[in-house]
Copies of this chain bind each other. A is one copy, B any other.
Amino acid sequence: MGTALNALKMLDLFSNSLAEIGLSQISRLSGLNKATALRHLRALEEFGLIEQNPQTKTYTIGPAALRLAALREIAKPGLEGARQKMQAAMLDVGESLHLTLLEKDTLQTAVVVETTQHSVRVSLDPSEVIPINATASGLCMLGFGPSFLLSRLDQEEQERFTDATLTDPDLIKEKVALIRRAGWANSNGSYEEGVFGFAAPIFGISQVALGTISIAVPDIRATSERLPVILKSLQSLSRDLTANFGGQMPETFPTEFHP
């Protein structure tokens, strides 16, 4: 059901590593017939969500995406302010930052600020859905977000990404209990080898987390000397961004993060 949806789903094919795609490849990846894929692409192009490179004939995400994002910012303000705070924090700690938001029942990347300080950096794909069991953001959301996330743990099998990925619901719950006490979550290569993630919650109006702010560090820089700097930044971002989105922190939430 829904040709419009099928057309839109083609947009999901584009990603960080696959920014330009040709017709045949789109047809293959989407499973749609080449003719239908083309007609959909034409429709999306007319609206501006798709753009075709006249030389290479490949397709990319179009400029309408920016226009819609600006409208989204009007409807649900805050993200632009958040980006600025993240930018400042990036310059301070020198690492890449991600802001994720809970949309419907999945955790999605909303803002990415990559570090300009190091050439070895963590680069996160904005089109990826954040796995709740394998990332610092996901675990953090389990700890401070709506409770249905935790109860869903027992119903669905959790995907494994690396050797360090937590997949057993009971082990995850143990970890979540620790996170609740600490106020922040970490993931040491449990999503991708060599990537250390540190995340803190952003709370909404009812003291339930609506998203997370996280700092991603390559293992070579994830030393114990740098941890206090990262945690300090994370803590103040958690507070600032909660305020930025008009939320409120629970009284029980720690005002300082300890390693």
Contacts and interface: CB of A to CB of B under 8 A. Distances in A.
B71 A19 contact: yes
Interface in A105-154: 108-112, 126-127
Contacts of A8: 4, 43-44, 47, 49
A101 B46 CA distance: 16
Interface in A31-56: 39-40, 42-44, 46-49, 51
A70 interface: yes
Contacts of A16: 71, 74
A92 interface: no
Contact of A69 (B3, B14, B68): B68
A177 interface: no
A115 to B, nearest CB: 14
Count of this chain's copies in the oligomeric assembly: 2
A62 B71 contact: no
25 contacts: A2-B39, A2-B42, A4-B4, A4-B7, A4-B8, A4-B43, A5-B43, A8-B44, A14-B71, A16-B74, A48-B104, A49-B68, A51-B76, A60-B76, A61-B71, A63-B72, A63-B110, A65-B71, A65-B72, A66-B111, A68-B68, A69-B69, A70-B109, A70-B127, A71-B126
